[in-house]
Amino acid sequence: MNLHSSNLIGLLFATISLHSVAETSDTQVSHSLPKEGRFFFNGGALSSFYEYENQDVKDALPSKITDRLEKYQVEGDESDIVNYNLAIGYYLYDDLALRFNYVADIEIDFLGDVFTDVCWLGCEPSQAKQRDYYTINMDIFEFDATYYPVHFTPKLSAYMLGGIAIHKIDATIYNRSTQSTPYTRVNVARSTELEAGAKLGVGIQYDFSDDWGLKAGYSHFSYMSIDKTYINFEYRL
């Protein structure tokens, strides 16, 4: 169990404890701003930080891709913040919402790919043109339910969420033709893989108005043991 998983369990217990205390307190805030029956959008760009294991990606890819990768490529821990997400959801009740979230452009092994592109001292230009290059990108399709067990004020609430996630991994191996400058890209092998897993998370939501809010939270994905910390806006119709 990594540090983020331990933090997740701790946050879950803290949220449940706060809910128990709130139930027995005379000062409990009974509800948040009215949301039942409203559609909403969540979104963000460069505001979600993902940490994951490259080896889990490699395990999901077919041999036509992995056989062409060097041992030092797509290895070790990796992180990504250059991505964006957009979600649409619906409040079944003031304290319960269903949501579909799409995350795009998580680039796998970005640094390893950069190092592969560099022609180090002693490397002939013709050798750089002939070697294999690669791009591996991941998108995530999330289906989750969000429950708000604690309302500190009508505008500030804590939430827990859980659901499933479909991970789409696109991998391409290519080389560069030496017949033209700039080099033309020639694909050698391509693959698209889908992997399913569970997700669980906690967070805080602050509603600036009846229509606008801001979420800050942490989620853990079972596939690849991905840890995600994020800040997203919310707009309610």
Tell me the C-alpha to C-alpha distance, in Å, between residue 200 and each of 69, 162, 165, 186, 230. Answer: 33, 4, 10, 41, 14
Percentage above 90 pLDDT, the chain: 47
Tell me what the pLDDT averaged over the chain comes to: 81
* 130 Cβ neighbours under 8 A, 6+ residues apart: 175, 178
pLDDT at 115 over 80: no
> What's the pLDDT at 27?
46
Q: Across residues 59-83, what is the average pLDDT?
A: 83
Give residues with Cβ within 8 angstroms of 79, minimum separation 6: 49, 50, 51, 52
Predicted confidence (pLDDT) per residue in 16-57, tens digit: 455 444 444 444 455 668 899 999 999 999 899 999 888 888
Q: Is the pLDDT of residue 60 over 90?
A: no
Domains delineated in the chain: 3-236 (2.40.160.20)
pLDDT band, very low/low/confident/very high, at 131 (cuts 50, 70, 90):
low
Predicted model pTM: 0.78
